[in-house]
Amino acid sequence: MTTATLVHVVVSGLATGCIYALMAISLVIIYNATRTLNFAQGEMLMISAFLAWASYHAFRLPLLVAMLVAVTASAVLALLIERAIIRHSIAATHFDVLIITLGLSLMLRAGAGIVWTHDEFPFPSFFSDRPIPLGPVRIAPGSLGIIGASLGLMAALYLLFTYTRFGRAMRAVAQNQRAARLMGISVERVYSGSWVLASVVGAVAGVLIAPVIFLSSKMGLIVINGFTAAVLGGFGSLPGAVLGGMLLGVLENLAPLYLPTGIKYSVPFLLLIGILMLRPSGLLGRSLQRKV
């Protein structure tokens, strides 16, 4: 194998990795605020990608506007779900909420299948197909675009969490809910906000990855890769989610070069089992002390 192929594989792995990282970030945002896992995150991403595609085709909106429509719609969807369903189970255990979001993911996927069928559709991309030569290496502009957009979004999230009131409130709730409430933070508003923020991040990931993996009702399964990425980095840690996503993307792309090709789709699962067995707290995670 030449170095050029290797670079190409690694770059496209990093691009997929960025998507996994965004997926992992949206899972972690909700987890940090509410201590629950949103199983429906992948399906919410799928719905927003479909909405972008539908508004692009039905109203002939420019691609960028269609994507903004999708991102807004995903925010509204998340708010509705949080207020209508999740809020009622605030006192429930994570087990209950997991089942509820599982039910949601079944419903969203079936709904998408009913409205848009279960076929695969090509999704328009901002980036041209012609590879950019960089010395001896040729790189797909799509990969660079995904990496650039994702890094931009991550930087924006970093600023949001560090410098805004809302970001600080979210971090406070993640650290200690009762203390946060005593400091006058509306925990409920942070719950809603986390759902909306996570959904927006997921929607961006959705419109970025849709041109690569095609638009279909099945694309919600990417939530498993996102979860693997988050666990890999240490669940609950945002930098960990980014690191885990990149690692997973690159490994998934490298594995078929050295192992049988069929292995590619099992990589996240095998990696997930492996990391859970060996180091459940992930690369950057800290193990938690629990009380009765």
Partner 1 sequence: MRRLALASLGLLLLALPWLVPRYFVFLANLIVVNAIVAIGLNLLSGYTNQLSFGHAGFLAIGAYFAALLTIHAPGVPVPLTILAAGVSTAAVGVALGVPCLRLEGLYLTMATLAFGYVVSEAILNLDWLTRGADGLRVPVAGLGPWRLATDVARYYLVLAVAVLMVLAARNLVSTRTGRAFLAIRESQIAAQAGGIHVAAYKTIAFAVSAFYTGVAGGLFAFVVGYLSPDAFDVFLSVDFVAMIIIGGLGSVPGSIIGAAVITVLHDWLAAFQNYRPLIFGAILIAGMLFMPGGIARALRVSLTRGGGV
User: Where does this chain bind partner 1 (CB under 8 A)?
Assistant: 37, 85, 88-89, 92, 94-96, 98-100, 102-111, 113-114, 224, 227, 231, 235, 262, 265-266, 268-270, 272-273, 276-277, 280, 290-292
Of the pair 63, 284, the CB lying nearest partner 1 is at: 284
Task: Give helix 222-233 / helix 41-58 axis angle, nearest 10°.
Answer: 130
Task: Give helix 187-213 / helix 3-34 axis angle, nearest 10°.
Answer: 160
CB-count burial class (<10 Å; 0-12, 13-18, 19+) for 97: buried
- What is the nearest approach in angstroms of partner 1 to the Cβ of residue 20? 15
Which of 55, 35, 155, 169 minimizes the C-alpha distance to 101?
A: 35
Q: Which tokens belong to 224?
A: 């498993």
- What is the nearest approach in angstroms of partner 1 to the Cβ of residue 11? 27
- What is the nearest approach in angstroms of partner 1 to the Cβ of residue 101? 9
For residues 47 and 226, is the Cβ–Cβ distance under 8 A? no
Strands 132-134 and 137-139: antiparallel
Single-letter residue type at 177: Q
- What is the nearest approach in angstroms of partner 1 to the Cβ of residue 34? 12
Of the pair 61, 99, the CB lying nearest partner 1 is at: 99
Of the pair 65, 270, the CB lying nearest partner 1 is at: 270
**Tokens 């506007």 belong to which residue?**
65
- What is the nearest approach in angstroms of partner 1 to the Cβ of residue 87? 11
Of the pair 107, 156, the CB lying nearest partner 1 is at: 107
- What is the nearest approach in angstroms of partner 1 to the Cβ of residue 170? 20
Helix, strand, coil abundance in the chain, percent, nearest 5: 75, 5, 20
Of the pair 59, 269, the CB lying nearest partner 1 is at: 269
For residues 234 and 139, is the Cβ–Cβ distance under 8 A? no
Of the pair 53, 227, the CB lying nearest partner 1 is at: 227
- What is the nearest approach in angstroms of partner 1 to the Cβ of residue 83? 14
CA–CA separation, 90 vs 83, rounded Å?
11
Of the pair 69, 231, the CB lying nearest partner 1 is at: 231
- Other CB atoms within a 10 A radius of the CB of residue 277 amount to 8
CA–CA separation, 211 vs 237, rounded Å?
29
